[in-house]
C-alpha cells in the first residue's frame, strides 16, 4: 500500500472523500488518529462500487456506523474508512425496512410513536442501526437480533445479497453473516403495541441506565464483555479499580466497565488502562477479560 496517490484513485468520488481525515470526531470516545481515506457513499450502489475499487487495489476497508463502540489507535487507520450514513425508512404493517445509517435512538422513538414494539428494550444504546445489528446490541431486556427478519449485505466481492435470519448467527455482542462485509439495510419485524406502554418501558430503562452509566461523557459504553455468568463491571469494581487513571483515561466511578476520556486522553492511555484492568482482574479472579469495543 506504499506510495498510493489516494486523491487520484478516488478522483471520481472527490465530493464524498476526505484524505488524512482525523477520526476522533467520528467516535464517541473522541479519540484516534487519521484515516488515509474517509469516504461517505451517498447510495448503496456507490458503496458497492467503492468497495470493489478498494478490493481491486487491495486496500483495507473499515465500515463506520456511529462510532460508539470503537477505539481508534493514535496512529490512525491505514486504508479506507467507509462511513455508512444512508438512512431511508419504510414501514409496512409490522415490518420496517431501514437502511444501516439510521440512528438507532431515532428509530426507537419513531417506533414507539408508531406503536411498534420491540426495540424500546434498547433504550439508551447510541449509534446506527447497522452498527447495532453488527454488534447484536442490547442488554438485560433483549437484543436487536431478535427483531431482524433479513438483511441486505455487501458480500466479500462487493455484490449486494439478501440474507435471511436463519443464515445469520447472532451471538453475544457479535453477529456473523457468512461471506458478508457490511450490512446495508434490513427488515425488522416488530409487534403492534400501545405506544403508551412502549413509552413507559423506554423511559424506565433509560432512567435506570442514567443512574448506573455515564451516558453523556466521552466513552464507548462497556469496554469488556461479560465473562460467562459474571459481570465484567462487578469484577473490575471488586478489584478496586474504579477511578484508576492512565493519562487522561479513567475507569468510571459510576460504572466500572466504562472507561472515560476525561478530555486529554490518547488512545494509548485507554489501551494501557485496559491492559492494567485485564492484568489485575486475571491476577485476582483468574478471569480473562475480552474487549467488547472494536479497536482499529
Ligand X SMILES: Cc1cc2nc3c(=O)[nH]c(=O)nc-3n(C[C@H](O)[C@H](O)[C@H](O)COP(=O)(O)OP(=O)(O)OC[C@H]3O[C@@H](n4cnc5c(N)ncnc54)[C@H](O)[C@@H]3O)c2cc1C
51 is an interface residue for ligand X by CB under 6 A: no
69 is an interface residue for ligand X by CB under 6 A: yes
Q: Pick between residue 135 and residue 187 the one whose CB is nearest to ligand X.
A: 135
Q: Pick between residue 70 and residue 187 the one whose CB is nearest to ligand X.
A: 70
Out of 220, 223, 251, 271, name the contact with ligand X by CB under 6 A.
Answer: 220
- Report the residue number whose CB is nearest to ligand X: 131
128 is an interface residue for ligand X by CB under 6 A: yes
Full DSSP string of 224-281: BPPPTTS-HHHHHHHTT-TT-EETTEEE-SS-TTBEEE-SS--HHHHHHHHHHHHHHH
Question: Closest distance between ligand X and the C-beta of residue 64, in Å?
Answer: 5
Question: Closest distance between ligand X and the C-beta of residue 83, in Å?
Answer: 9
- Using DSSP's 3-state secondary structure scheme, residue 137 falls into coil
Beta-strand relationship, 34-39 and 77-83 = parallel
Do residues 58 and 292 make contact, with C-beta atoms less than 8 angstroms apart? Answer: no
Instruction: With CA atoms as reference, report the closest residue to 180 among 164, 157, 146.
Output: 157
Which three cell numbers, joined as nine digits, stand for 86?
A: 444512508
215 is an interface residue for ligand X by CB under 6 A: yes
Out of 32, 34, 41, 67, name the contact with ligand X by CB under 6 A.
Answer: 67
33 is an interface residue for ligand X by CB under 6 A: no
249 is an interface residue for ligand X by CB under 6 A: no
Scanning 41-49, 59-67, 87-95, 191-199 for contacts with ligand X by CB under 6 A, the matching segment is 59-67
**Cα–Cα distance list, 23 to 38, 47, 78, 99, 261 (Å):** 9, 19, 12, 23, 15
Out of 35, 53, 70, 96, name the contact with ligand X by CB under 6 A.
Answer: 70
**Cα–Cα distance list, 11 to 14, 45, 199 (Å):** 5, 17, 47
Out of 127, 145, 158, 233, name the contact with ligand X by CB under 6 A.
Answer: 127
Question: Closest distance between ligand X and the C-beta of residue 135, in Å?
Answer: 4
- Using DSSP's 3-state secondary structure scheme, residue 151 falls into strand
Do residues 123 and 108 make contact, with C-beta atoms less than 8 angstroms apart? Answer: yes
Out of 107, 112, 134, 251, name the contact with ligand X by CB under 6 A.
Answer: 134
Out of 61, 182, 186, 277, name the contact with ligand X by CB under 6 A.
Answer: 182
Scanning 34-42, 51-59, 133-141, 283-291 for contacts with ligand X by CB under 6 A, the matching segment is 133-141
User: Is the sign of the CA dihedral 126, 130, 136, 140 positive or negative?
Assistant: positive
125 is an interface residue for ligand X by CB under 6 A: yes
Spatial neighbors of 290 by CB under 8 A, at least 6 apart, are: 224, 225
| Residues found near ligand X in the complex (CB under 6 A) | 28, 62-70, 84, 100, 125-128, 130-132, 134-135, 137-139, 173, 182-183, 215, 219-221, 294
Amino acid at each position: 500500500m506504499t506510495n498510493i496517490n489516494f486523491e487520484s484513485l478516488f478522483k471520481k468520488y472527490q465530493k464524498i472523500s476526505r484524505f488524512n481525515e482525523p477520526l476522533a470526531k467520528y467516535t464517541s470516545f473522541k479519540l484516534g488518529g487519521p484515516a488515509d481515506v474517509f469516504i461517505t457513499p451517498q447510495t448503496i450502489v456507490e458503496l458497492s462500487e467503492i468497495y470493489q475499487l478498494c478490493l481491486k487495489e487491495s486496500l483495507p476497508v473499515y465500515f463506520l456506523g456511529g462510532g460508539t463502540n470503537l477505539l481508534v489507535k493514535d496512529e490512525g487507520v491505514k486504508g479506507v474508512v467507509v462511513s455508512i450514513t444512508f438512512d431511508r425508512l419504510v414501514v409496512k404493517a409490522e415490518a420496517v425496512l431501514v437502511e444501516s445509517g439510521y440512528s438507532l435512538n431515532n428509530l426507537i422513538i419513531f417506533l414507539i410513536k408508531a406503536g411498534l414494539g420491540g426495540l424500546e428494550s434498547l433504550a439508551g444504546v447510541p449509534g446506527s442501526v447497522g452498527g447495532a445489528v453488527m454488534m447484536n446490541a442490547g442488554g438485560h431486556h433483549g437484543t436487536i437480533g431478535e427483531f431482524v427478519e433479513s438483511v441486505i449485505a455487501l458480500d466479500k466481492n462487493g455484490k449486494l445479497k439478501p440474507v435471511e435470519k436463519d443464515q445469520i448467527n447472532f451471538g453475544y455482542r457479535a453477529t456473523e453473516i457468512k461471506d458478508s462485509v457490511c450490512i446495508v439495510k434490513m427488515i425488522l419485524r416488530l409487534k403492534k403495541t400501545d405506544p403508551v406502554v412502549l413509552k413507559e418501558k423506554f423511559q424506565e430503562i433509560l432512567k435506570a441506565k442514567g443512574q448506573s452509566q455515564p451516558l453523556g461523557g466521552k466513552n464507548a459504553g462497556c469496554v469488556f464483555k461479560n465473562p460467562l455468568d459474571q459481570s465484567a463491571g462487578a469484577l473490575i469494581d471488586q478489584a478496586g479499580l474504579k477511578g484508576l487513571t492512565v493519562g487522561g483515561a479513567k475507569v468510571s466511578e459510576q460504572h466500572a466497565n466504562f472507561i472515560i476520556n476525561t478530555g486529554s486522553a490518547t488512545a494509548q492511555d485507554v489501551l494501557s488502562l485496559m491492559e492494567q484492568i485485564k492484568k489485575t482482574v486475571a491476577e485476582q479472579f483468574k478471569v480473562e477479560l475480552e474487549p467488547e469495543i472494536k479497536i482499529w
